[in-house]
Structure 1
Amino acid sequence: MTPEEANGLYALAWLSFGVMHSWLAGARTKDRMRALLGPYYRLIYNIIAALHLAAIGAFGAWTFDGGREVAPFNEWRGILTLLAVVGWAALIMVLRTYDLGRLLGTAQVRAHKAGMSFEDDEPLITSGFHIYVRHPLYAAGFLILWGAAWTDLALATALWGSLYLVIGSRFEERRLRRLYGDTYRDYCRRVPAFIPWRGKAL
Structure 2
Amino acid sequence: MRAIASSPVARKGGGRTVLAVSYGVVCHALFAVAVGSMVVAMYFGMSRSFGRVPAPWSWVANAALLIQFPVVHSLLLTARGRTVLARLAPRGTGATLAPTTYVIVGSLQLIGLFALWTPSGTMWWQADGSALIVMVALYVFAWVLLGKSMLDAGLSLQTGSLGWVALLRGRKLVFPKMPTTGLFRLSRQPIYVAFALTVWTVPTWTPDQLVLALVFTTYCLVGPLLKEARFRRVFGAEFDNYARGVPYWLPLPGRLRGRSGRRCEPPAGRIRISRRQG
Q: What is the TM-score normalised by the length of structure 2?
A: 0.61
Question: Runs of 5+ in structure 1 lacking a partner?
Answer: none
1:43 matched to 2:100? The reply is yes
- Count of aligned pairs between the two proteins: 196
Q: What is the TM-score normalised by the length of structure 1?
A: 0.81
Structure 1 runs, 4 residues or longer, greater than 4 Å off: 4-9, 73-79
Alignment counterpart, residue 55 of structure 1, candidates 91, 112, 116? 112
Matches within 5 A, 1:1-202: 9-31=61-83, 33-34=85-86, 37-60=94-117, 62-65=118-121, 68-71=122-125, 79-119=134-174, 121-148=175-202, 150-198=205-253, 201=256, 202=263
Distance 2:158 2:141 in 1: 23
Distance 2:200 2:229 in 1: 27
Q: Do the aligned partners of 1:86 and 1:143 also contact (CA within 8 Å) in 2? A: no
Deviation at 1:124, TM superposition (A): 0.8
Q: Residues 199, 132 of structure 1: CA spacing in aligned structure 2 closer, same or farther, 3 A cutoff?
A: farther
Question: Runs of 5+ in structure 2 lacking a partner?
Answer: 1-53, 257-262, 264-278
Distance 2:78 2:189 in 1: 19
Distance 1:45 1:38 in 2: 11
Distance 1:89 1:56 in 2: 22
Bigger Cα displacement from structure 2, 32-41 vs 43-52: 32-41
Q: Do the aligned partners of 1:135 and 1:193 also contact (CA within 8 Å) in 2? A: yes
Distance 2:57 2:132 in 1: 26
Distance 2:147 2:72 in 1: 27
Greater Cα radius of gyration, structure 1 or 2: 2
User: 2:21 maps to which residue?
Assistant: none
